[in-house]
Amino acid sequence: MRRNKKERQRLLQDTILSNPFVTDEELAEKFSVSIQTIRLDRLELSIPELRERIKHVAEKNLTDEVKSLPIDEVIGEIIDLELDQSAISIFEVKREHVFSRNQIARGHHLFAQANSLAVALIDDELALTRKSTIQFTRPVKQSERVVAKAKVTQIDEESGRTYVEVNSFVGKELVFSGEFEMYRSKKSEKRME
């Protein structure tokens, strides 16, 4: 159903407010208009392009700092982080991440995004992956954006283990899930030193 410009722009604003990571292509499909129409609407409404929106959300949401590894070693861009609780990262699948014959992302990139997010989530200078159980639920193609959401499910200070669950999505579709058992230095030992 085609909407008039005013109504489309109002719905466009609402959509971007609820999901700042939505692409112009996804918006064009949703509103049955061209990508150029979406770009013109965004321009009229002073809504920045996706990259700027992601940057803005990241600056607003990164209240904690990664302790366990340098931020440039995290695969993907962390946009939200609460140490020992939850984190979100975005990974843009580019030509160098896919098989040339079918443009499907190599699995180790999706694993690396999830694993480095699980490491970054640990509120400790020492964090290592001890064990992981992973599942790929559908192939990811070039130009798709993978949003990984990690949450701590359990912290066992006695053994120095933290359990992290990571689910990765393209749009609303689950493409990867993993459970990570992370090793961290024992907090009780730190307090005694």
DSSP for 158-184, please give it. TTTEEEEEEEEEETTEEEEEEEEEEEE
The tens place of each residue's pLDDT in the chain, 193 residues long, gives: 567 888 888 898 888 887 777 888 889 988 989 989 988 988 888 888 877 776 666 555 554 576 766 666 788 888 888 899 999 999 999 999 999 999 999 999 999 999 999 999 998 888 899 999 999 999 999 999 999 999 999 998 888 899 999 999 998 899 999 999 999 886 534 433 3
Residues 92 and 141 in one domain: yes
Pick from 73, 147, 140, 130: which is nearest to 107 by CA? Answer: 140
Residues 98 and 184 in one domain: yes
Domain boundary among 38, 56, 74: 56
Residues 103 and 170 in one domain: yes
Residues 52 and 74 in one domain: no
CA angle 48, 83, 70 (to 5 degrees): 75
Pick from 129, 123, 151, 126: which is nearest to 64 by CA? Answer: 123
Position 187 scores a pLDDT of 56
Number of compact structural domains in the chain: 2
Position 98 scores a pLDDT of 96
Residues 52 and 69 in one domain: no
Position 188 scores a pLDDT of 39
Q: What is the CATH classification number for the domain harbouring 101?
A: 3.10.129.10
Residues 38 and 70 in one domain: no
Position 89 scores a pLDDT of 92
Q: What is the CATH classification number for the domain harbouring 36?
A: 1.10.10.10
Residues 79 and 144 in one domain: yes
Position 192 scores a pLDDT of 32
Domain span including residue 51: 5-56
Residues 43 and 71 in one domain: no
Residues 97 and 24 in one domain: no
Nearest-10 Cα torsion for 40, 44, 46, 47: -40
Domain boundary among 34, 56, 78: 56
Contacts of 68 (CB under 8 A, 6+ apart): 119, 120, 122, 124, 125, 126, 127
Residues 169 and 95 in one domain: yes
Position 176 scores a pLDDT of 97
Residues 172 and 98 in one domain: yes
In whole angstroms, give the CA distance from residue 84 to residue 13.
33
Q: Is 38 helix (H, G, I), strand (E, B) or coil?
A: helix
Residues 18 and 72 in one domain: no
CA 74 to centroid of chain Cα atoms: 11
